[in-house]
Amino acid sequence: MKLDRIDIRILHELQKNGRITNVELAELVHLSPSPCLMRVKKLQQAGFITGYSAQIDLAKLGPTITVFTEVTLKNHRKMDFERFQQAAEKVEEIIECHLISGGYDYLLKFITGSIGDYQAIMERLTDMDIGIDKYFSFVVMKSSFIKTHLPLKTIFPM
């Protein structure tokens, strides 16, 4: 499915407000409601829209910490990467896992209740023998801003 500028605008608006009504969305993208709804359904069926979720204000729930962790694996065979990724995916506190280029193999993003919780997870991962050679932790002191939407209009100008 090839996207046009209206599809990009629909995606842009939906990521800003997933609870927008079809009528409101149609107005914003300059379509009538019926064709707008058809486009949204096509975008969902084609896998461009993978789901809808609520954004939670963690600070209101209680204290948490965010930690970015650089992980280097002992070996670099396909099975080593797969074993590590499968184990990391099972850890609920790991909310992002990126295979990257450069001086280490993975960049992980953790959200936990405390430094102790984070350290316990890392000890468990290193004890699991999933190929971790070394890791470095970076505790976030303050997040100046966090964007929850992708810059679709600038990446895919139409």
Task: State pLDDT tens for residues 42-62.
Answer: 999 999 999 999 999 998 999
Supply the range of the domain harboring residue 44: 5-52
Q: How many domains, the chain?
A: 2
Same domain assignment for residues 68 and 42: no
Q: Across all residues in the chain, what is the average pLDDT?
A: 95
Question: What crossing angle do the helices spanning 22-29 and 33-45 adopt, rounded to 10°?
Answer: 100
In sequence order, the 6+-apart residues with CB closer than 8 A to the CB of 80 are 73, 74, 131
Q: Note the pTM of the prediction, 2 decimals.
A: 0.86
Within this chain, do residues 42 and 71 fall inside the same structural domain, yes or no?
no
| 144 in any annotated domain | no
- Rg from Cα positions in the chain: 20
Whether residue 82 is contained in a domain is answered as: yes
Which two three-digit tokens encode residue 4?
Answer: 């046009």
What is the maximal distance between C-alpha atoms in the chain? 58
For a pLDDT cut of 90, what percent of the chain falls above it? 92
Same domain flag for 44 and 112: no
3-state secondary structure of 76: coil
Residues 43 and 64 in one domain: no
Does residue 31 fall inside a structural domain?
yes
Asked if residue 158 belongs to a domain, the reply is no
* CATH code, 30: 1.10.10.10
Residue 40, classified by CB atoms within 10 Å of its CB into exposed (0-12), middle (13-18) or buried (19+), is buried
